[in-house]
Structure 1
Amino acid sequence: MLKLLFIGDIVGRPGREIILEKLGRLRLDMGLDFVIANAENAAAGAGITGSIAKSLLEAGVDAITLGDHVWDQRGWETEITQVDKVCRPANLPAKCPGWDHVIIETRGFRVAVFTVLGRSFMNTKADCPFLTADRLIDQLKAQADAIIVEIHAEATSEKQALGWYLDGRVTAVVGTHTHVPTADARVLPRGTAFMCDLGMTGPYTSVLGRVVDPIIARFMDGMPRRVEVATEDVRISGALIEIDASMANARSIELVTVRR
Structure 2
Amino acid sequence: MKVLFIGDIMGEPGRRAISRTLPRVMSEHDVDVVIGNGENVAGGFGITPDLAHELFDMGLSVITTGNHAWDKKEIVEFFPHEPRLLRPANYPDGVPGWGSIVVDTPKGERLAVLHLMGRAYMPALDCPFQVARREVGRLKRETPAILVDMHAEATSEKMAMGHFLDGEVTAVVGTHTHVQTADEQILPKGTAYITDIGMTGPIHSVIGIKKELAIEKFLTGMPRRFEVASGPALLCAVLIELDARLGKAVSIRRVRIAE
TM-score, normalised with respect to structure 1: 0.97
Provide the residue aligned with 1:132 in structure 2. 131
What is the identity, as a one-letter code, of the residue corresponding to 1:40? E
What is the identity, as a one-letter code, of the residue corresponding to 1:125? A
Gaps of 5+ in 1: none
Change (3 A) 1:68 1:140: same
Q: Percent identity?
A: 47
For 2:5 and 2:187, the matched residues in 1 are separated by 18
Are residues 1:74 and 2:83 paired?
no
For 1:19 and 1:104, the matched residues in 2 are separated by 21
| TM-fit CA distance, 1:80 | 1.5
| TM-fit CA distance, 1:82 | 2.5
For 2:15 and 2:119, the matched residues in 1 are separated by 28
Gaps of 5+ in 2: none
Provide the residue aligned with 1:120 in structure 2. 120
Matches within 5 A, 1:65-104: 65-104=64-103
The answer to whether the Cα contact below 8 Å between 1:93 and 1:125 also exists between their aligned partners in 2 is no
| TM-fit CA distance, 1:245 | 3.0
Provide the residue aligned with 1:145 in structure 2. 144
Provide the residue aligned with 2:214 in structure 1. 215
Provide the residue aligned with 1:176 in structure 2. 175
| TM-fit CA distance, 1:88 | 0.7
The answer to whether the Cα contact below 8 Å between 1:152 and 1:177 also exists between their aligned partners in 2 is yes
| TM-fit CA distance, 1:36 | 0.6
Provide the residue aligned with 1:4 in structure 2. 3
Query: Which runs of 4 or more aligned residues in structure 1 lie more than 6 Å from their structure 2 counterparts after TM superposition?
Result: none
Provide the residue aligned with 2:52 in structure 1. 53
Q: Secondary structure at the match of 2:34?
A: strand
Provide the residue aligned with 2:31 in structure 1. 32
The answer to whether the Cα contact below 8 Å between 1:7 and 1:198 also exists between their aligned partners in 2 is yes
| TM-fit CA distance, 1:84 | 4.1
Q: RMSD between aligned alpha carbons? A: 1.0
Count residues in correspondence.
258
Deviations 1:37-82 (A, max 9, x none): 0001000101000010011011100111110000000211001222
Q: Secondary structure at the match of 2:9?
A: coil
The answer to whether the Cα contact below 8 Å between 1:239 and 1:256 also exists between their aligned partners in 2 is yes
The answer to whether the Cα contact below 8 Å between 2:13 and 2:232 also exists between their aligned partners in 1 is no
For 2:115 and 2:146, the matched residues in 1 are separated by 11
For 2:68 and 2:257, the matched residues in 1 are separated by 25
Provide the residue aligned with 2:163 in structure 1. 164
| TM-fit CA distance, 1:163 | 0.3
TM-score, normalised with respect to structure 2: 0.97
| TM-fit CA distance, 1:226 | 1.9
For 2:254 and 2:137, the matched residues in 1 are separated by 29
Q: Secondary structure at the match of 1:144?
A: coil
| TM-fit CA distance, 1:232 | 2.3
The answer to whether the Cα contact below 8 Å between 1:234 and 1:259 also exists between their aligned partners in 2 is yes
For 2:257 and 2:80, the matched residues in 1 are separated by 32
